[in-house]
Amino acid sequence: MTKKGRAIILMMDSFGLGGAEDAAKFGDAGADTLGHIAAARGGLKVPNLAALGLLKAAEASSGAAPQAGPQEGAKINLPAKYGFMREISRGKDTSSGHWEMAGSPVQFEWGYFKPDYPSFPEELIQKICAEAGIPGILGNKAASGTEIIEELGEEHIQTGKPICYTSADSVFQIAAHEKHFGLDRLYKLCEIAFKHVAPYNIARVIARPFEGEKKGEFKRTKNRHDYSVKPPMVTVLDEIKNAGGEVISVGKISDIYAKQGITKAVKASGLEELWNATLAEAAAAPDFSLVFTNFVDFDMAWGHRRDTEGYARGLEYFDTRLPELAAQMKEGDIAFITADHGCDPTYKGTDHTREHVPVIMFGPGVRPQFIGGRDTYADLGQTVAEYFKLPPLKFGKSFLND
C-alpha cells in the first residue's frame, strides 16, 4: 500500500541558534550564529521564517530574542511546529550532525589530524603518493580552502603536486586544478586517499577542484565531491528506501551519507541553484518521497569565511523562496527547516560552533505548536519515520502528533 504524502528537509548548513549547554567543552561558549548576525547587522528581514516561529525558537534556545527588528510582509501562511534541538553526537562536524538528524548519532570519537605543519603522518603521505604516482604534496596543514589555493595554486600548476590540507573537522582535503591536474585524476586520488586514511578513523576525504591561471584568479568549481564513511547504524533514509519509497538528495546530501538510503542524487551548488533544484524535485516527487537538501553556502561561503554580511543576505534570500515551496505543498505534505551545527561568523577562528539548531515543521495539516528543546537531533528522523508509518528508529522521539 502506497504511503501518502511527501516530506522535504531544508538543511541550512551551520545555522545555529546558540544556547548549547556543552558549548564550553568545545571552546564555543557564547556562540550564537543567528543572534550575533542579527545584532551585527542591526536587523534581518526574514518575515516568512519569523511567521514559522524561527525567532521564538531562537529566543527559547539562547535566552534572548534576536535583534532582527520588525518582521512585516510574510507571504507564507501555513501552520508550523517550532523549537530547537540539542546534539548528542560527540563532534560538531557535518557528518555527525546529518547522521544524527536521520537517527544515527555518532557516539564514538573521530580521528583528527593536527593543525600545524606537518598535519599528516609521513607514512600516510608516502603510501598515497606511491599508489597515485604523484611527486609529493603541497600544504600539509590546517587551512582555509580558498586561502591555501590562493597561496599554493601557482606552485601546484608548476609542480603537479596536489594541495592537501585539513581543518578542525575529521577531514583530509585535496585541492587540484581541473584542467592542469584533471578532475578525474583528482577523484581517483581522493579514492586512494580515502582508503589509506581509514586506519586513522577520518570521516571524509573531500575533492576541491579549482580553476584559474594565477594568484587572484583562482576559484573553486562546483565539482566538489566528498568521500565519506557510512553512518554507524540504519537511518530513516535507509528505512524509506527499503520500504519502497524515494529519497531524493539535492546538493551534497548523497556524499554525506555515502550514498546510503539515496534513490536519486541531484547535483546543485549555490543558494539559488539549490533552491531551484529543491522546488523542481519537490514538485515532481511522488507520494512516499523525501526530498533532502543541504544549503551549503551558509557554512562554506559565509560561516567559515566569517562573512557576517554574506550570511545575513543569504538568510534573507532563503526567506524569499519559502513561499514558493509552500504554494506547491499539497494536503498531507510536511517540510522541515533545520541545521547540522553552528558556524558563528562573529566568533573567533573559522571553525564550526557547538550550538542548538532550529527545528521547524510546517505544512497544510500541521497543528501549530511550540515543541520546546528536543534532546537530540534524532527527533527529526523519528518524526519522519512516524509520518511514513515506518518502524521506530533506535534514537529520537517523534513530535509529529505533539
**What is the mean pLDDT of the segment spanning 362-388?**
97
Residue that has been written with the C-alpha cell 535566552 in this structure:
63
* pLDDT over 90 at 4, yes or no: no
**What is the mean pLDDT of the segment spanning 379-392?**
97
Tens-place pLDDT, residues 319-351: 999 999 999 999 999 999 999 999 999 999 889
**What is the mean pLDDT of the segment spanning 119-126?**
98
CA atoms of 286 and 294, how far apart (whole Å): 21
pLDDT-based confidence at residue 96 (cuts at 50, 70, 90): very high
> Where do the H-state alpha helices sit in 87-121?
94-101
pLDDT-based confidence at residue 354 (cuts at 50, 70, 90): very high
Q: Assess contact for 118 and 144: CB atoms under 8 A.
A: no
* E-state strands within 1-149: 6-12, 80-85, 138-142
Tens-place pLDDT, residues 215-261: 999 999 999 999 999 999 999 999 999 999 999 999 999 999 999 99
Burial (CB count <10 Å: 0-12, 13-18, 19+), residue 1: exposed
**Tell me, what's the pLDDT at 2?**
56
* pLDDT over 80 at 63, yes or no: yes
| Domains, the chain, ordered by start | 6-107+232-387 (3.40.720.10), 122-228 (3.30.70.1250)
Strand 246-250 with 219-220, pairing:
unpaired
In three-state secondary structure terms, 330 is coil
**Tell me, what's the pLDDT at 143?**
94
What single-letter amino acid sits at 89?
S
Strand 264-266 with 6-12, pairing:
unpaired
Burial (CB count <10 Å: 0-12, 13-18, 19+), residue 231: buried
* pLDDT over 50 at 138, yes or no: yes
Q: Assess contact for 50 and 68: CB atoms under 8 A.
A: yes
DSSP class of residue 7 equals E
What single-letter amino acid sits at 71?
Q
**What is the mean pLDDT of the segment spanning 119-145?**
97
Q: Which helix (H) or strand (E) holds 362?
A: strand 357-362
**Tell me, what's the pLDDT at 387?**
97
> Where do the H-state alpha helices sit in 246-307?
253-256, 271-284, 297
Tens-place pLDDT, residues 249-275: 999 999 999 999 999 999 999 999 999
- End-to-end Cα distance, the chain: 26
Tens-place pLDDT, residues 156-193: 999 999 999 999 899 999 999 999 999 999 999 999 99
* pLDDT over 80 at 383, yes or no: yes
* pLDDT over 80 at 3, yes or no: no
Nearest to 345 by CA among 7, 37, 51: 37
CA atoms of 12 and 291, how far apart (whole Å): 14
**What is the mean pLDDT of the segment spanning 83-112?**
96
